[in-house]
């Protein structure tokens, strides 16, 4: 492999960023950082505190005051700790999914999360995924990828994931949620979702997770996609 680099993986909701980033990190021997989980943890705390999702002052206060930690368990899975409590399952509920884009567009929340993420990415050999990693968090990352897929494809994947986790949802609800999140993420005033100018775009519609991971690993290893 030679010199370790930083890898930024961005893309819309349901594009498979977390799974791809985690597996790519394992394949390359890199450290995986799930930035979306951090925003989800802040959203969970806001919901528990019954904060209005338009209350930017209190949402910023939460982001600046909570203790967030990402730790790998014995299986290599990332566990998310909020004020010392493992909330890895709670942050994946449909309610958190419906509200996380509203929370993540708050300037104060993004400022605090980006600060933490930049600290995590200060060393090389990191795979970081999110929506503004290549454009804002790690603009100097040597390798940048933007994963995308049709809304239908992403909704099918997210629906299957939620059902597998034991949540009760319908495909139509998931489709509507993803379409709404796309709109919010792409049009927010601060760090909107878009590919970095030097990112390689991978349309993973119809691709397996393994195919996407192999494509990224091959590119990072210096081979063509």
The binding site for ATP comprises 11-19
- Binding-site residues, please? 11-19
Which of the 8 DSSP states describes residue 131? S
Which has the closest alpha carbon to 92: 178, 147, 162? 162
Which has the closest alpha carbon to 30: 102, 128, 143? 128
Tokens found for residue 90: 């709670």
**Which residue bears the tokens 């495909």?**
171
Distance between CA atoms of 46 and 139, rounded to whole angstroms? 29
Please answer whether residues 144 and 17 qualify as being in contact, where contact means their C-beta atoms are separated by less than 8 angstroms.
no
Please answer whether residues 134 and 144 qualify as being in contact, where contact means their C-beta atoms are separated by less than 8 angstroms.
yes
Distance between CA atoms of 89 and 69, rounded to whole angstroms? 15
Distance between CA atoms of 113 and 62, rounded to whole angstroms? 11
């Amino acid at each position: 492999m030679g010199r370790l680099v930083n890898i930024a993986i961005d893309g819309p909701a349901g594009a498979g960023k977390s799974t791809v980033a985690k597996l790519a990190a394992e394949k390359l021997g890199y450290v995986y950082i799930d930035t979306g989980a951090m925003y989800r943890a802040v959203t969970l705390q806001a919901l528990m505190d019954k904060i209005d999702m338009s209350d930017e002052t209190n949402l910023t206060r939460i982001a600046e005051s909570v203790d967030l930690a990402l730790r790998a368990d014995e299986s290599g899975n990332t566990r998310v700790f909020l004020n010392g409590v493992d909330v890895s399952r709670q942050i994946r509920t449909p309610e958190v999914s419906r509200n996380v884009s509203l929370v993540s567009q708050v300037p104060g929340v993004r400022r605090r999360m980006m600060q933490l993420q930049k600290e995590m990415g200060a060393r090389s050999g990191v795979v970081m995924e999110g929506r503004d990693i290549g454009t804002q968090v790690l603009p100097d990352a040597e390798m940048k990828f933007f994963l995308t897929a049709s809304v239908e494809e992403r909704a099918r994947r997210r629906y299957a994931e939620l059902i597998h986790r034991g949540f009760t949802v319908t495909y139509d609800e998931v489709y509507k949620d993803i379409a709404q999140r796309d709109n919010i993420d792409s049009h927010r005033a601060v760090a909107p979702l878009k590919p970095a100018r030097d990112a390689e775009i991978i349309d993973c519609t119809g691709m397996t997770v393994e195919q996407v991971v192999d494509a990224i690993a091959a590119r990072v290893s210096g081979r063509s996609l």
